[in-house]
Amino acid sequence: GAGTLPPAQRRISALQQEQRTRLLRRMMLAINRIDGAYYLFARRRGIHENTLALLYALDDGTPHSQKQVCEEWLIPKTTINTIVRQLEGEGLLTLQAGEHGREKTICLTPAGVTYAREILQDVYAAENAAIDAALEQFSPDFVQALEHFTDELCARFESRPGAQPKE
């Protein structure tokens, strides 16, 4: 351990740890600000942030079950169910029989597609401007690095005792 290192190496190791801690805090703050930007955008548009996430998920042109959306977007089942029922009641989506037995697929209606595009066009414009500005300074590899960090962090959290969510 660090206690067996010569004093000079212990100082370097402590410095590296301090630098690592600063980097992690900067990254966590940046991620928090990203989450907050989507949250505030949704509030300004008068919708719940999870409604925005559902519309975003459904706008990729592929069918999604409620279970898939819950798992990919980390939204509780009860929340997705509530949002789906609300949007279904407004005529913005339908539930159709899925490939896996009783699991239903969420599909935007034509009115839902129009609604989603209206909301998401501003999201996509902001995202595109932000990624263009980032790519002027950084390689596209920063996205792969963030994905790798995310995968590693999730794996570490999932392997810890008590990591399974309580249902």
pLDDT by residue (tens digit) across 98-141?
776 678 899 999 999 999 999 999 999 999 999 999 999 999 99
Closest CA to 118 of 45, 44, 34, 54: 45
40-83 tens-digit pLDDT: 999 999 999 999 999 999 999 888 999 999 999 999 999 999 99
Q: What's the confidence (pLDDT) of residue 163?
A: 62
Distance CA 78, CA 98 (A): 19
Please provide the size of the chain in residues: 167
- The rounded distance, in Å, linking the Cα atoms of 81 and 157 is 27
> CA 132, 138, 142, 144 torsion: positive or negative?
positive
pLDDT in tens, 11-50: 668 778 889 899 999 999 999 999 999 999 999 999 999 9
User: pTM above the 0.85 mark?
Assistant: no
